[in-house]
């Protein structure tokens, strides 16, 4: 429209007519479904329902709505005066569409804010463990110059393009056993304190233990990265008290058993519902809405096929209205696809990060920051051209 000289006001009016969405709504009663279908047809749009909903053989049906953004706006206004639960559906539909088309987020931190949307941010990983699956744990040899190693690692990551640093003292590899609180504190707190004094880049603490998170926040961390999705209600209290940003991740079970029983009714729906409940619980516990980031949890209770499906449909999680982080870095599904060992997972990681960025990832959590940074610069250049 800009290239052919359309008036800006006219372009604003016409743009919603250019955006088409397919929206699936599950388990709608037949009366409401038939009203919804008629309303969509009256707007020149479409709604697909099960055959039984039209013949009366079923009591409920899933619905696939097919329409333009302008038509959905008109539909929402029509449904606001309808009975049979359609008023609530209108509110949900309106909220989900607004969430889905939202691109820019500002996550408030105790010091400044994290602006997400203009480009995909990179979270660089520092594993303060001896048993990291990726083989980069700085604590492996319990070296006397362990803090120096962490400092040099952070300097390198930031120089390579890291926008955030994520520190973790507890391995989350499949089968990993829990550390004691004392041990995890000894690995993480001194390093958080050291790096917070040296760098302005926001520091995230990767932990499921409220005690470790609190100590890290006291030492200068600004984000809690909880792979258990804030299941421990004490973690919510810590985040609320410190006004910390949080990353809520999806995981089946715990690292010690997450790969033993993997079962989903509908992978994307199940993960989205889990995250939605966790978001609601966090917000009701005092965590501000603008401080929440979500992570679908690549590799945490998923098969290789599940991990690929998550990347393919990552955009679906935008309906939750939160910035999305994803961590495909050096995960075993990459080796499964490539048929190669852990030393050659970098190229697969780059491909996964590029595809995730194209599908709405606001943050990628990676080990190979320099390589990912270069790859994402190409993504940003293509977006801007």
**Marked catalytic residue, from 322, 331, 345, 359:** 331
Of residues 138 and 376, more confidence is placed in 376
pLDDT at 384: 87
Of 322, 334, 325, 333, the closest CA to residue 365 belongs to 325
Could you read off the pLDDT of 257-276 as tens digits, one per residue?
Answer: 767 788 899 999 999 999 99
Full strand arrangement of the beta sheet holding 245-249: 292-295, 245-249, 223-226, 203-206, 164-168, 121-127, 363-366, 325-326
Q: In which band, very low, low, confident or very high, does the pLDDT at 256 lie, cut at 50, 70 and 90? A: confident
pLDDT at 343: 60
List where CATH 3.20.20.20 sits in the chain. Answer: 105-384
Q: In which band, very low, low, confident or very high, does the pLDDT at 54 lie, cut at 50, 70 and 90? A: confident
Could you read off the pLDDT of 316-332 as tens digits, one per residue?
Answer: 999 999 999 999 999 88
pLDDT at 340: 67
pLDDT at 134: 45
Q: In which band, very low, low, confident or very high, does the pLDDT at 133 lie, cut at 50, 70 and 90? A: very low
Residue 144 predicted with pLDDT over 80: no
Q: Is 331 a catalytic residue?
A: yes
Q: In which band, very low, low, confident or very high, does the pLDDT at 135 lie, cut at 50, 70 and 90? A: very low
Of 203, 177, 172, 202, the closest CA to residue 190 belongs to 203
> Selecting from 3.30.1370, 1.25.40, 3.30.460, 1.10.3470, what CATH number does the domain 8-101 have?
3.30.1370
* Residue 46: count of CB within 10 angstroms of its CB: 14
Range from 56-65, 129-138, 213-222, 228-237 carrying the lowest mean pLDDT: 129-138
Residue pair 223/247 in contact by the 8 Å Cβ criterion: yes
List where CATH 3.30.1370 sits in the chain. Answer: 8-101
> Selecting from 3.20.20.20, 3.40.50.300, 3.30.9.40, 3.30.70.2190, what CATH number does the domain 105-384 have?
3.20.20.20
pLDDT at 42: 96
| Region for residue 286 given its phi and psi (left: phi exceeds 0; alpha: psi -120 to 50; beta: otherwise) | left
pLDDT at 210: 97
Residue pair 79/90 in contact by the 8 Å Cβ criterion: yes
Report the percent of the chain where pLDDT is more than 90: 71
**Marked catalytic residue, from 187, 209, 359, 365:** 365
Report the percent of the chain where pLDDT is more than 70: 94
Q: In which band, very low, low, confident or very high, does the pLDDT at 385 lie, cut at 50, 70 and 90? A: confident
Residues in the chain, overall count? 385
């Amino acid at each position: 429209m800009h290239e052919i000289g359309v008036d800006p006001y006219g372009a604003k009016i016409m743009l919603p007519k250019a955006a088409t969405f397919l929206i699936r709504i599950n388990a709608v009663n037949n009366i409401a479904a038939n009203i919804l279908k008629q309303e969509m047809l009256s707007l020149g749009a479409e709604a697909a329902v099960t055959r039984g909903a039209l013949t009366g053989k079923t009591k409920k049906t899933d619905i696939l709505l097919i329409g333009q953004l302008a038509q959905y706006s008109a539909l929402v206004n029509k449904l606001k005066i309808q009975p049979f639960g359609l008023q609530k559906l209108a509110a949900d539909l309106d909220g989900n569409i607004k969430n889905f088309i939202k691109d820019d987020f500002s996550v408030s931190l105790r010091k400044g804010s994290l602006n997400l949307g203009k480009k995909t941010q990179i979270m660089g990983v520092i594993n303060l463990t001896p048993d990291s699956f990726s083989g980069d744990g700085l604590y492996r040899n319990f070296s006397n110059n362990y803090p120096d190693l962490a400092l040099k690692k952070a300097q390198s990551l930031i120089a390579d393009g890291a926008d955030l640093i994520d520190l973790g003292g507890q391995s989350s590899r499949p089968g990993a056993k829990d550390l004691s609180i004392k041990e995890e504190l000894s690995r993480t707190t001194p390093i958080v304190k050291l790096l917070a004094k040296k760098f302005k880049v926001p520091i995230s603490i990767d932990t499921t233990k409220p005690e470790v998170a609190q100590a890290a926040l006291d030492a200068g961390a600004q984000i809690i990265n909880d792979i258990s999705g804030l299941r421990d209600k004490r973690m919510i209290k810590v985040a609320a008290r410190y006004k910390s940003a949080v990353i809520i991740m999806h995981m089946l079970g715990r690292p010690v058993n997450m790969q033993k029983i993997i079962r989903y009714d509908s992978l994307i729906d199940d993960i989205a519902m889990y995250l939605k409940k966790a978001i609601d619980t966090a917000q009701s516990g005092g965590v501000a809405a603008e401080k929440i980031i979500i992570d679908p949890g690549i590799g945490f209770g998923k098969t290789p096929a599940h991990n690929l499906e998550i990347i393919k449909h990552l955009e679906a999680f935008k309906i939750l209205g939160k910035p999305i982080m994803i961590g495909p870095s050096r995960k075993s599904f990459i080796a499964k696809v490539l048929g190669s060992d852990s030393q050659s997972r970098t190229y697969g990681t780059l491909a996964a990060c590029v595809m995730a960025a194209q599908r709405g990832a606001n943050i990628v959590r990676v080990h190979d920051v320099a390589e990912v940074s270069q790859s994402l610069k190409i993504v940003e250049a293509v977006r801007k051209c």
